[in-house]
Amino acid sequence: MIIINKSGYLKYKSLKFRCALGKAGIGKKKKEGDNITPKGIYKILKVYFRKDRIKKFKSKFKLIPIKKNLGWCDDPKSQNYNKQIKLPDKFNYERLYRNDNIYDIICVLNYNTNPTISNKGSAIFIHIKKGQYKSTSGCIALGKSDLLKLLSQINNETKIKIY
């Protein structure tokens, strides 16, 4: 089991990595945009990556290349809320193909996915950190080499405990 706590570290077996968390810390996520990293036990559902930037890496996950037209709906009014979408879209979304590198690898957690509840929070990912572990909007962010190392050792049954 991967353990992530408010100290800003992710632990898995003998690995220990610094990580960034939501601006409002870890807690019970109440609504979209509250900047909370949701407390709970999760799994990684999907792993997306930028094929043009990450040439190859070892993983037991099915790896999904990020194309220029991929987005993630974060608009509670949309029937596609908290789901991958094709762009453009008339509702609000996050673009997955970005100029910066934070979404070069995206691990989608099963937060608010089954069922998806409108306005409960969306796009809870593990992704690459920004700068010196700048806080996120609710995601967990790791250094690129740390995330690659973690992905080489876990699978879709590995649980993630955030507390």
- 15: which DSSP letter? E
- Asked if residue 89 has pLDDT above 90, the reply is yes
Asked whether the beta carbons of 138 and 109 are under 8 A apart, the reply is no
Write down the pLDDT at residue 56. 87
- 18-58 pLDDT per residue, tens: 999 999 999 999 999 999 999 999 999 999 999 999 998 99
The proportion of the chain whose per-residue pLDDT surpasses 70, expressed as a percent, equals 100
Range of the domain at 84: 2-162
Q: How far apart are CA 7 and CA 19, in angstroms?
A: 9
- What are the phi and psi torsion angles at 95 (to 5°)? -80, 130
Q: How far apart are CA 25 and CA 143, in angstroms?
A: 19
pTM: 0.97
Tell me the pairing of strands 2-5 and 105-109.
unpaired
CATH of the domain at 121: 2.40.440.10
Structural domain count of the chain:
1
Mean pLDDT of 123-142: 98
Bridge partners of residue 84, in order along the sequence:
72
| Sign of the torsion formed by the C-alpha atoms of 133, 139, 145 and 147 | positive
Mean pLDDT of 74-83: 99
Confidence band (pLDDT; 50, 70, 90) for 109? very high
Q: Which are the contacts of 113, defined by CB distance < 8 A and separation ≥ 6?
A: 45, 82
Asked whether the beta carbons of 10 and 54 are under 8 A apart, the reply is no
- Asked if residue 126 has pLDDT above 90, the reply is yes
